A = this chain, B = another copy of it.
Amino acid sequence: MFSGVSITELSKQDVEDLALGATVLGTGGGGDPYIGKLMALQALERGRKIELVPPEDVEDDAFVVAVAGMGAPVVMIEKLPSGKEAAESLKSLEKYFGRKADYIICIEAGGMNSTIPLATAAELGRPVIDGDGMGRAFPELQMVTFHLYGVSATPMSMADEKGNSVILDTIDNFWAERVARAITVKFGGVAWISIYPMSGKQFKQAAVRNSLTKEIMIGRELRDAKKSGRNPLDALLDATKGFLLFKGKIVDVVRRATGGFARGEATIEGLDEFRGSKLVVKFQNENLIAIKDGEVLASVPDLITIVEKDSAKPITTERLKYGLRVAVLGIPCDPKWRTGEALKVVGPKYFGYDVEYTPVEIAARRSG
């Protein structure tokens, strides 16, 4: 297609590893990657390719579009996608622009939205760039590094599984979020979107780079630990450069699907060295804040990931339930998220928590 572009073809194992790593970086949200992974694997089995391109090889004038699912993950599990929805949304945006996307990108490095774009890319024969707009998962459309660099979310397209589609062109990215969220609710809780159309130059400036290879690496380390008998939690902490915030048993989960989001909180009673303490993790699709005995241990934009205590297998918010033995990790976010401007968009205050953001490496060390 283009000259000078170095392409890596993803293997089935890469896709498996990526999906596992994406669940870790998804911090409980983005939807379960399982369905998107299956769709991507099926595409590979049908002889399609998933081509990964490093950001630095992308041409300045390339046309780059993010593909994603939007809505409450808990609904996605019940409303199985056919696999065509995301491709339909991209096609309708391409029709609107009168130009085909040269590259597909992931809006987030989390759950379903890390694997769906791979399936769409394989289906339509477009390469994927190794980078995303978050380096994790976030619940709202403007919560991407693209937004910090002035890239418009719109024109964007939305499609449902019935054949309804919408093109949005809003005055800013907050309006895109507001209107798209209302449409997602009307679509039955899930929409398939193509968003943040941009040039290759914009992507290179604004994206979190190499997040797909990072996902693959995390998944691979977890898999290797299983084989080699290394403690999986240690392997995961190493691979993510994360901090162990807590170990315990889930004793309560409260959740409600409102306004197109899955909101709620999990309460965890301490085990091992954390016995006698309680940790509360609050989420809005993704885990937002971890509070140990009244003290904030970690908050957005840093990553809070809940995993099974022994296997270190990540657990998405919709799978949290009473009795699970879990470990809670805090992982430093991409530096792009730590400016004052960025914290206005994704800091704890935006989500309604009246606390100052403290980088997890500082709070966790202070607590430990």
**Partner among B163, B178, B183, B185 whose Cβ is within 8 Å of the Cβ of A171:** B163
Query: Which residues of chain A in 283-326 are interfacial with respect to chain B, using CB atoms and an 8 Å cutoff?
Result: none
Complex Cα spacing A179 to B167, Å: 12
Interface residues contributed by chain A, number (CB under 8 Å): 20
Known: A179-B183, A182-B185. A167 touches B164 (CB 8 A): no
* Interface SS of A by simple majority: mixed
Q: Is A168 an interface residue (CB 8 A)?
A: yes
Q: Is A366 an interface residue (CB 8 A)?
A: no
State whether B175 touches A171 (Cβ < 8 A): no
Q: Which residues of B contact A185 (CB under 8 A)?
A: 182
Q: Which residues of B contact A168 (CB under 8 A)?
A: 164-166
Mark contacts of A169-187 with chain B using CB atoms, 8 A cut-off: 1 yes-contact digit, 0 otherwise: 1110001001100110111
- State the A residues within 8 Å of B (CB): 92, 96, 162-171, 175, 178-179, 182-183, 185-187
What 6 pairs between A and B have smallest CB-CB spacing? A167-B167, A182-B182, A163-B171, A164-B170, A182-B186, A165-B169
Between A and B, 30 residue pairs with Cβ closer than 8 Å are A92-B169, A96-B96, A96-B167, A162-B171, A162-B175, A163-B171, A164-B168, A164-B169, A164-B170, A164-B171, A164-B175, A164-B179, A165-B168, A165-B169, A165-B170, A166-B166, A166-B167, A166-B168, A166-B169, A166-B179, A167-B167, A178-B186, A179-B183, A179-B186, A179-B187, A182-B182, A182-B183, A182-B185, A182-B186, A183-B183
